[in-house]
Amino acid sequence: MNLPDALLDSTWVMLAWVFFVPCLIYAARRAHWHLLTDSARLNVFMGLIVLLVLLWNLKAGIKPGLSLHLLGAMVFTLCFGWALAFLGLCCVLAGTSLNGAAGWEVFALNAFLMAGVGVAVSHGIHRLIAQRLPAHFFVYIFANGFFGSGVSVFAVGLASCLLFTLNGTYSVAYLLDEYLPYFILLGFSEAWLSGMVMTLLVIYRPEWVSTFEDKQYLADK
């Protein structure tokens, strides 16, 4: 997470940029921009970006690229859908890079790891839960807000370890012993924080959560 420049081979950097630009355009075309025409939701969107920039800069790490911080992908995805969530997290990454906490050359790689993997897993879990589990308030909160958030962070950790292994930056043994296990602890932190945020939102401001409908999750329950 928060990869610095010159850590990975230039081939990975170039490939990431080649795929990142089309993905960014696709997300921009699929995004529900009408959600941001509401001033309250626009304020929430911008507020999440600012808050996550601060959280992404509050990181811990032992070696270059092996940093840990909260992600926020599930909250973004549940509130605005996968496309706006991906674009929003790219804005968060831009703010983090401006602050010097991540490299600009590897911006695309960082975007794929944190925004791409984080949002893809969050969206996939939400869709799977919606299809397989009952439409119930507590299912939405605990399965998405708590469980899904933790899994999304751990998935980013797995993707990062895979990238480091394929590039030969760090050995598999070192990553399994000194890096990946900490994502389990980070996942618990992400789960509790995101779960509490989503609980407060669906109770007091459900109109800010685009994936939550009172008629679907509360009516006749």
Tell me the per-residue pLDDT of 90-140, one tens digit each, with 9 for 90 and over.
999 999 999 888 889 999 999 999 999 999 999 999 999 999 998 888 999
Indicate the CATH number for domain 10-217: 1.10.1760.20
What pLDDT does residue 53 have?
95
Residues in the chain where the model's pLDDT stays below 50: none
Quote the pLDDT of residue 61. 77
The Cα–Cα gap between 168 and 132 comes to 39
| Domain ranges, ordered by start, for the chain | 10-217
Q: In the beta sheet, which residues pair with residue 67?
A: 61
Instruction: Please tell me the predicted confidence (pLDDT) of residue 108.
Output: 96
Cα separation of 82 and 169, whole Å? 31
The pTM of the full predicted model, rounded to 2 decimals, is: 0.94
CA atoms within 13 A on the CB side of 219: 5
